[in-house]
Chain A
Amino acid sequence: MIKITVKLFATFRVDRFDIAEREYPSGTTVGTIVDELGLPREQLGILMVSNRHVDLDRELHDGETLAIFPLVGGG
């Protein structure tokens, strides 16, 4: 198992959490966590691992931090 710190922003916090350390099987991707948290893929804004922009297929490593922002496009 690997430990990942997940940080959620804006609406993604509602009924979830702001920040949490969670355990996942090794080989877990960003997409798996997004789906496990029930975050609609069409609402995804920025995805970052340790301050770098990543895609859904990025594999996570023990101790990394994943930040997930929703898509904001209104004016």
Chain B
Amino acid sequence: MVPLHESLQAQASDGLVSWPVQEAAAKEYSVTLAEVEEAILSSELLPARYQRNRQMISTSQQLQLFRSKVAVVGAGGLGGYILEQLARLGIGQLVSIDADVFEENNLNRQLLSSPAKLGRVKVEVAAERIAEVNPAVTLRPIQAMCGKSNGVELLTGVDCVVDAVDNVTARLELAEICSELQVPLVHGAIAGWYGHVATVMPGDTTLQTIYRHWKGGKGVEQQLGNPSFTPAVAASFEVAEVCKLLLDQGRLLRNRKLAFNLLHMEVDEIPL
């Protein structure tokens, strides 16, 4: 049998390997789809699904993304969109952490929710969705609340953590854990028409500044709730930051916060 690399090379067209070829190779060589993806990318070929990434993400960068591990804490409004986008971007390993099951009040905005999923564990639904969307991506579902007691254990070994939780206590704990682990944290929070995003590098005290006047309890999201579009906006900003962090590109939202107001369509940059 020809080596896998050679077989992929022979079946590539214009540097692209199609999905049927990737699937057939996994069967023929008795390896996982992820292993075939690694073989494709390390042969300087591109799985055809990423051809529209090509002008902004080179094949070697696509391999870098595939070899990255990103944890998304929270699989609700923000988390659903973030997981979807990270998987489609081609991040090889995802960790999804959330303790909850889907409830009816999630249906107006949470991408992973649907009437058929009511009562189901969010991270399990996330694993199923990601397996369907990009089967070369591995998602490890963890049904738990991520906090001081288990955070270090759950997040050790990841390249980047994405904050998609729904309360300030959890966010501040996450910032402490990431600081201890020396891992970058991409933060996003929403309420009604409004939201903000910031990137926290190890040693930064960004979240402590943002929530400097917090006295416990919820923010204005308690009165406003969240519509369908606001989580998608914040999630997209967060994923763009993750992509830049992993590829060391562009200018990060570091030491500044982007606050957006979709009601008046305003974006403010706040120094931190």
Residue of A nearest to B74 (CB): A75
CB atoms of B213 and A10 under 8 A apart: no
Q: Let me know if A46 is at the binding interface, CB within 8 A.
A: yes
CB atoms of A11 and B194 under 8 A apart: yes
- B261's contact among A9, A48, A51, by CB below 8 Å, is which? A9
Which chain B positions have C-beta within 8 A of A41? 213, 215
- B194's contact among A10, A43, A53, by CB below 8 Å, is which? A10
- B191's contact among A48, A51, A73, by CB below 8 Å, is which? A73
In the complex, which residues 146-192 of chain B have their Cβ closer than 8 Å to any Cβ of chain A? 163-168, 171, 188-192
In the complex, number of A-B residue pairs with CB atoms less than 8 Å apart: 101
- B221's contact among A44, A51, A53, A72, by CB below 8 Å, is which? A72
CB atoms of A48 and B189 under 8 A apart: no
CB atoms of A74 and B270 under 8 A apart: no
How many chain B residues sit at the interface, stated as a range, is 35 or more
- Tell me how far the C-beta of B163 lies from the nearest C-beta in chain A, rounded to whole angstroms: 8
Q: Let me know if A47 is at the binding interface, CB within 8 A.
A: yes
Q: Let me know if B20 is at the binding interface, CB within 8 A.
A: no
CB atoms of B171 and A47 under 8 A apart: no
CB atoms of B217 and A42 under 8 A apart: yes
Report the interface size for chain A: residues with CB under 8 A from the other chain.
23
CB atoms of B79 and A45 under 8 A apart: no
- Tell me how far the C-beta of B124 lies from the nearest C-beta in chain A, rounded to whole angstroms: 19
Residue of A nearest to B268 (CB): A9
Q: Which of B166, B189, B213, B271 has the most CB of A within 10 A?
A: B213
A53-B209, A75-B78 known; A69-B189 Cβ under 8 A: no
User: CA A56 – CA B67 in complex, angstroms?
Assistant: 47
User: CA A47 – CA B211 in complex, angstroms?
Assistant: 10
Q: Which of B76, B78, B224 has the most CB of A within 10 A?
A: B224
Q: Let me know if A71 is at the binding interface, CB within 8 A.
A: yes
Residue of B nearest to A7 (CB): B268
Which chain A positions have C-beta within 8 A of B240? none
Which chain B positions have C-beta within 8 A of A56? 213
A9-B261, A10-B193, A73-B166 known; A46-B270 Cβ under 8 A: yes
Q: Let me know if B92 is at the binding interface, CB within 8 A.
A: no
Chain B proximity mask over A21-58: 1 for CB below 8 Å, otherwise 0: 00000000000000000000111111110010101100
User: CA A72 – CA B190 in complex, angstroms?
Assistant: 6
- A45's contact among B76, B77, B219, by CB below 8 Å, is which? B219
13 A-B pairs within 8 Å (CB atoms) are namely A10-B191, A10-B261, A41-B215, A47-B213, A71-B168, A71-B213, A73-B211, A73-B221, A74-B77, A74-B191, A74-B224, A75-B165, A75-B231
- Given contacts A72-B189, A74-B166, A74-B190, list 16 more A-B pairs with CB under 8 A: A9-B259, A10-B191, A18-B264, A42-B215, A45-B213, A46-B209, A71-B219, A71-B220, A72-B195, A72-B196, A73-B168, A73-B189, A74-B221, A74-B226, A75-B74, A75-B190
| Residues of B participating in the A interface, judged by any CB pair closer than 8 Å | 74, 76-79, 163-168, 171, 188-196, 209-221, 223-224, 226, 231, 257, 259, 261, 264, 268, 270-272
